[in-house]
């Protein structure tokens, strides 16, 4: 019997200007840029990975950078909100910090007993900072990015979950519970259905996906400012292979296993239209030879593109890590 899905591996979205993206996620939010590489399917564009100091699965937010591309359109069949975790005691810090950096769309409220800060990134992508108790273990200290622009006691420490807007939710809910092993959580109020991953036995809390039914909305268009796909964790290649066989047996169209250097991936669309991935935890972000200390400091290319390095570097826009606070950002119009 397959073990249930135990958490998110990463969330991948699309941005416009890669430097503006770095200024916001590394400079304002204080995440570590753990890998600067290229889109393996289109090496003329960047793929930027952010996470904790180790690039741990479950902390990763990644971006395909498409300078000049049009912004996407909100609607059904897409992820509407991506939520990140902050310490329960850090709400006041983050409200002040976001205000100081002129971040737009900031609001604060309560949901399911937790304080939630809503905001938007420079491309209009909707984010939430959810204040919860941190895992209490030695790994937490090891994973904190000490060179962050945000003090370690206030640092974002994991993905919390995603909210998907769908035309209809029953088939997706059945996939999550009956196949992937997530557990339904009774929402406090409203039309959301909430599901949590099963406790893996670690001190890390479960992660969530929320489904919102919007039968009267038009389908969304995934482009700049929106999530491209979400990835769930598989502990190893054997577990991933078993998941692939299970999904195929249920009639899902599933990609072959694809080597992404830092993990292996399979892809399929859930019934509501959101692209799901199942990614392996290993081998991790030092698999290309970049040391843990140097993660994100240089352009890393997969082997198939190393022979094109000079041409690719000449065509990619220059980027750099922010030395201080990021410049103010503005929310683009719909």
Instruction: Give domain status of residue 90, yes or no.
Output: yes
77: domain CATH number is 3.10.180.10
- The string of pLDDT tens digits covering residues 77-121 is 999 999 999 999 999 999 999 999 999 999 999 998 899 999 999
> How many distinct structural domains can be found in the chain?
1
Residue 324 pLDDT more than 50? no
Q: Is the pTM of this model over 0.85?
A: yes
In a domain, 143, yes or no: yes
Q: Is residue 329 part of a domain?
A: no
Q: Is residue 46 part of a domain?
A: yes
In a domain, 119, yes or no: yes
Q: Is the pLDDT of residue 333 over 70?
A: no
Compare 36 and 204 and report the one with higher pLDDT. Answer: 36
333, part of any domain: no
pLDDT band of residue 330 (cuts 50, 70, 90) is very low
Return the exposure string of 108-122: e unless at least 16 CB atoms fall within 10 Å of the residue's CB, then b.
Answer: eeebeebbbbebbbb
Query: pLDDT of 143-168, one tens digit each?
Result: 889 999 999 999 999 999 999 999 99
Residue 141 belongs to some domain of the structure: yes
- What is the span of the domain harbouring residue 217? 8-315
Average pLDDT estimate for 121-128: 98
- Determine, yes or no, domain membership for 130: yes
């Amino acid at each position: 019997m397959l073990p249930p899905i135990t958490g998110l591996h990463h969330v991948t979205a699309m941005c416009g200007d890669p430097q503006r993206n770095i200024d916001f996620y590394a400079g304002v939010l204080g995440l570590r840029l753990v890998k600067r590489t290229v889109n393996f399917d289109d090496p003329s564009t960047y793929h930027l990975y952010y996470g904790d100091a180790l690039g741990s699965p479950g902390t990763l937010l990644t971006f395909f950078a498409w300078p000049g591309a049009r912004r996407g359109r909100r609607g059904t069949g897409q992820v509407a909100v991506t939520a990140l975790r902050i310490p329960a005691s850090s709400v006041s810090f983050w409200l002040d910090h976001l205000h100081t950096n002129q971040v737009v769309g900031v609001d604060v409220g309560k949901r399911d007993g937790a304080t939630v800060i809503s905001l938007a990134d420079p491309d209009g992508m909707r984010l939430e900072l959810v204040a919860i108790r941190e895992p209490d273990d030695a790994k937490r200290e090891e994973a904190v990015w000490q060179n962050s622009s945000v003090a370690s006691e206030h640092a974002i420490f994991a993905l919390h979950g995603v909210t998907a807007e769908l035309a209809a939710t029953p088939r997706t809910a059945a996939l999550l519970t009956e196949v992937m092993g997530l557990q339904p959580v009774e929402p406090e109020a409203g039309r959301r259905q909430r599901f949590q991953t099963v406790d893996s036995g670690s001190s890390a809390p479960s992660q969530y996906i929320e489904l919102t039914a919007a039968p009267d909305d038009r389908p969304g268009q995934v482009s700049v400012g929106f999530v491209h796909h979400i990835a769930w964790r598989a502990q190893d290649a054997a577990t991933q292979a078993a998941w692939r066989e299970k999904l195929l047996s249920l009639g899902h169209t599933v990609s072959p296993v694809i080597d992404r250097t830092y993990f292996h991936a399979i892809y399929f669309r859930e019934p509501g239209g959101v692209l799901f991935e199942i990614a392996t935890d290993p081998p991790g972000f030092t698999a290309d030879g970049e040391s843990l200390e140097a993660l994100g400091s240089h352009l890393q290319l997969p082997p198939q593109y190393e022979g094109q390095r000079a041409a690719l570097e000449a065509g990619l826009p220059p980027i750099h890590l922010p030395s201080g606070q990021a410049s103010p950002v503005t929310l683009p119009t719909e």
